[in-house]
Amino acid sequence: MSAKGIFEAKGKSLLNAALGQQYVVPNKCVFVNSQTDWVQVERENPWLLTTKLIAKPDQLIKRRGKLGLIKLNADLTEIRQWIAEKMASKIQIGKSTGYLKSFIIEPLVPHEQSEESYVCVYSHRFADTILFHHEGGVDVGDVEAKALKMEVKVGAAVPTAAEISQTLLVNLTDDSVKSLVGKFIEALYKVYRHLHFTYMEINPLVIREGKIYILDLAAKLDQCAEYLCKAEWGEVEYPAPFGREAYPEEAYIQELDSKSGASLKLTVLNREGRIWTMVAGGGASVIYADTICDMGGASELANYGEYSGAPSETQTYEYAKTLLSLMTSSSKHPDGKVLIIGGGIANFTNVAATFKGIVKALREYQQLLKDHQVKIYVRRAGPNYQEGLRVMREVGQTLGLPLEVFGPETHMTAIVGMALGKEQRVQRVTVPTASHHHTHTTANFLLPDSHDTPQNAPAKNLGSPLSSRKQSMEEGAAKASSTSSLFTNKTQAIVWGMQNRAVQGMLDFDHVCSRKTPSVVAMTYPLIGDHKQKFYWGHKEILVPIYKQMADAMNKHPEASVLVNFASLRSAYDSTMEALQFPQIKCIAIIAEGIPENKTREILRAAHEKGVSIIGPATVGGIKPGCLKIGNTGGMMDNILASKLYRPGSVAYVSRSGGMSNELNNIISHNTDGVFEGVAIGGDRYPGSTFMDHVLRYEAEPDVKIIIVLGEVGGREEYDICEGIRSGRITKRMVCWCIGTCASMFTSDVQFGHAGASANAENETAAAKNKALKLAGAAVPDSFNDLGDVIRDIYTELVGKGDIVEKPEVTPPTVPMDFNWARELGLIRKPASFMTSICDERGQELLYAGIPITDIFKDDLGIGGVLGLLWFQRRLPAYATKFIEMILMVTADHGPAVSGAHNTIVCARAGKDLVSSLTSGLLTIGDRFGGALDDAAKQFSEALDTGMIPMEFVNSMRKKGQLIMGIGHRVKSINNPDKRVQILKEYVKDSFPATPLLDYALEVEKITTSKKPNLILNVDGFVAVSMVDFLRNSGLFTREEATELIENGVLNGLFVLGRSMGFIGHYLDQRRLKQGLYRHPWDDISYVMPEQNM
């Protein structure tokens, strides 16, 4: 959502900071609620004790004076008493019933009613409107009719005080007051614009004794501008509309939404309701709520919400878990509860991936769902929906939950009637088999039968040759090029952003539409250098150039007229404004959602001046069968074929919702000959183009016979269509429906998924607009459920009159399925080049040997525990993980003189990088330095296992002329023991379940040190035999597994890992000391030259 109301106290603090004291008396105010510490409040605001005060609720409540919710002219004691009486009291305002929870306290400003005025500033599509009325207060009446108005066009300079005085202040007779108020309004409007307010009303504004006081303030901020204004806004809390409780679960979902590129929304309407929804898509979520209310479920509807924009598995899990927690923590219902998991046909969201998160939550809440007798109804379609529905059906059977699953063969909202017991279970539609009709296929995608006619439609005229459909496609494109059409089959596009999947989808669409050349001629992205990217064009590969500079892309592809802008909300403004500098661009699709409204309006102004059509922001784009599809519009190839989007039909549509555009494609294909063109103008408050812009284009297209408009609650654009029909500018058959009819049934304001879906007046409600459209002559169904029937009836009528002549289908070209997607769908398999069993980074959370990284930190496994998972594939006991960490500590370093450290130092001083220096040191590890652990383990183990006593082992090694690995030290001896070995020995003896090999090695040590005192069991030997004891006696490994680990070098790995820390330390030390190139001194080298014969 963009425009959101703020607390009055917050609004006044923002104005205090921005306006200063030059034109207005700063507002002293205190915000209090049930948690307020009054002692602290009095200490921080001593003026509360010395002046008369005023108190009122601060909860987005209008007309507080008329409602008797203001306490005037009282001292702090009286104010506190009044607030205590009002706090948590239940009141009704209109249809809303709620509790008073927060208040604002201010100094009383004594004044006469004649000193009150009214000021309001609000934003709309092409301008900001400033209202001023010289009278204000609770009895101001209809200010829209009374107040003087000043329009400030988007992009225009801030009006001066003189201009404001001449336009707005003509009823102020005192010139000094007029000058003061003019300067104040000028400064106020600067703040309004700079801080991205979208609405501000001051009533009354008191002008007294040459000073201005802001008494009551109502304001809204553009939440999307937070990234621009965070420093000046500070922390902003947006209160819930009065009458609706603010739940912590809502705040949690809002936090998830703010951290995600997806859209996650949740509003709790009735915690005790029995009908819960989890709907994918902003438009679809509103339609489901509408249908529930239409069927009498308004009082039982528990929530409104939506998830869309390809949320990850983790995000969907958190969303579903939050919803199920709310559902199962409320009271049980005698009739049980229903959960509707619905959605339209996704454009790019992987349905199976999002369903994995929902399934995980369902498993977690299995018993609670059974306890609450929850019945679940699922309807979804889109990429990989078959796998998603299969998983859902399977989890219902596994968990024993009543769960019904449906796909695109079922009307989107049919499950609502089933869930509410209003309709019988829908029979799934089966695809006709070859015994009935010929079924076309393209690669692995099923193509609807060419003889499939809408129910009750007259038989199609099949007398024309099969080539007529293809011929008509080419003729239609030729006609379009001479009209106001945005796209033809020769349109070329540039894509901003590295959206390879979207580009490949556009190219596949081009190919299946039999375009001669690709629509995407270039891509541009400022964060990479110029290069070429490989894509598929049908069966062959092509290269698409990518440019760092947009100007290069434009100059090298002068025929490109469309920019598909995938820039983020932060970059979309700059990239779009840059694109508008190139006259060749005629249409820009802005995909990003959440662009600040002031930025959007500047884009619209610039585009309007240059005659450029804007689709978006917050859109999936649009599609013109046979010509072009924008980005991910239309979804995957299976949906494009199923909805017959590869060739033009007779029906054009325009929708706010991108997700619902795909549902319209489905509805139209089932009830007519298909789509001619479809555009989703976007869900933000100010879409770049309007319904009327596209309706008039369709009116001019001779091949368009039916125009469909899917509007929504909020805004007044649908009234332009009404006027167009009445005036005769629109003559074609119109089918219109505005979603959001449920809004009037809610007792408090609800912001729907789209930023623009909020009615600010009665004539902006969906019901009012549907009524007006019907009166104007458009065909308006009784509900969205009936939309397909109305379309079919009109289509059948036009076919019967001969206005539409149906043409036979032709099989489109084959478009192979991408390998990765085919594998995702489970259609193919391929032997892997690598296998791994220790780590999996593919999901939403890194797994080490199957254990999530969050559990590793939660359980404090430490380095030893991680090493156990990655090396041994076991969760090791605490004594073992600590021992591993002790090994790493004692082997980390042994001074600069040893060969590994020496090599590392020499390399570091030669200017080599860290990796090269470390590698140089590691390469010295072997039998003579540090690499004796594996061999020591083998020698001691073989001796013990074969039954040799220690003396026999020592003698046999002497006879073989072999050294006993792990025995001996250059410096340490029996008289100067190695403290590292002593520390480890004490720990192992105290902690290990058994140490037979260590005991054996210590007996060997007694024999070897009796011959020579430095032949001690060194660190390598101790670690080796102790690790063998652990592997063999911990109960975690079989003898064979223990032997295999040793043979694979795991013990030497401990030394390598430990000593790497020391080598890196030596490298950093040499760089820190800035040591120069090392050259070995001559006097430390013995030069022995061969004698030469004289």
- Report, as residue numbers or ranges, the catalytic residues: 754
What 3-state class would DSSP assign to 328?
helix
From 751, 3, 506, 594, select the one nearest 261 (Cα to Cα).
594
213 beta partners = 206
Burial per residue of 571-591, b for 16 or more beta-carbon CB atoms within 10 angstroms, e otherwise = bbbebbebbbebebbbbbbbb
Q: Could you give the C-alpha distances from 478 to 242, 673, 678, 701, in angstroms and in order?
A: 56, 20, 19, 12
| d(C-alpha 219, C-alpha 964), whole Å | 84
What 3-state class would DSSP assign to 11?
helix
Provide the H-helix boundaries in 564-676.
Answer: 572-579, 597-610, 637-642, 658-671
| d(C-alpha 249, C-alpha 840), whole Å | 31
What 3-state class would DSSP assign to 43?
helix
Burial class (CB in 10 A: 0-12, 13-18, 19+), 289: buried
Q: Could you give the C-alpha distances from 97 to 90, 243, 246, 741, in angstroms and in order?
A: 7, 5, 14, 21
In this structure, the strands spanning 102-107 and 30-33 are antiparallel
Phi, then psi, of 156 in degrees rounded to 5: -75, 160
Burial per residue of 1028-1040, b for 16 or more beta-carbon CB atoms within 10 angstroms, e otherwise = bbbbbbbebbeee
DSSP annotation of 732 reads S
| The token pair that represents 244 in the structure block | 């609706």
Burial class (CB in 10 A: 0-12, 13-18, 19+), 816: middle
DSSP annotation of 1066 reads H
Residue 729 CB coordination number (10 Å):
14
Burial class (CB in 10 A: 0-12, 13-18, 19+), 740: buried
What 3-state class would DSSP assign to 440?
strand
| d(C-alpha 921, C-alpha 1066), whole Å | 10
Burial class (CB in 10 A: 0-12, 13-18, 19+), 837: exposed
| d(C-alpha 1020, C-alpha 38), whole Å | 68
| d(C-alpha 715, C-alpha 758), whole Å | 8
| d(C-alpha 387, C-alpha 828), whole Å | 14
Contact between 570 and 227 (Cβ < 8 Å): yes
What 3-state class would DSSP assign to 601?
helix
Peptide bond into 1081 cis (omega under 30): no
What 3-state class would DSSP assign to 548?
coil
Q: What is the CA radius of gyration of the chain?
A: 38
The H-or-E segment that residue 129 falls in is strand 127-133
| d(C-alpha 185, C-alpha 178), whole Å | 10
What 3-state class would DSSP assign to 377?
strand
DSSP annotation of 345 reads B
Give the number of C-alpha atoms closer than 13 A to the C-alpha of residue 718, restricted to the C-beta side: 33
| The token pair that represents 472 in the structure block | 């008509």
Tally of residues, the chain: 1094
| d(C-alpha 4, C-alpha 281), whole Å | 21
DSSP annotation of 741 reads G
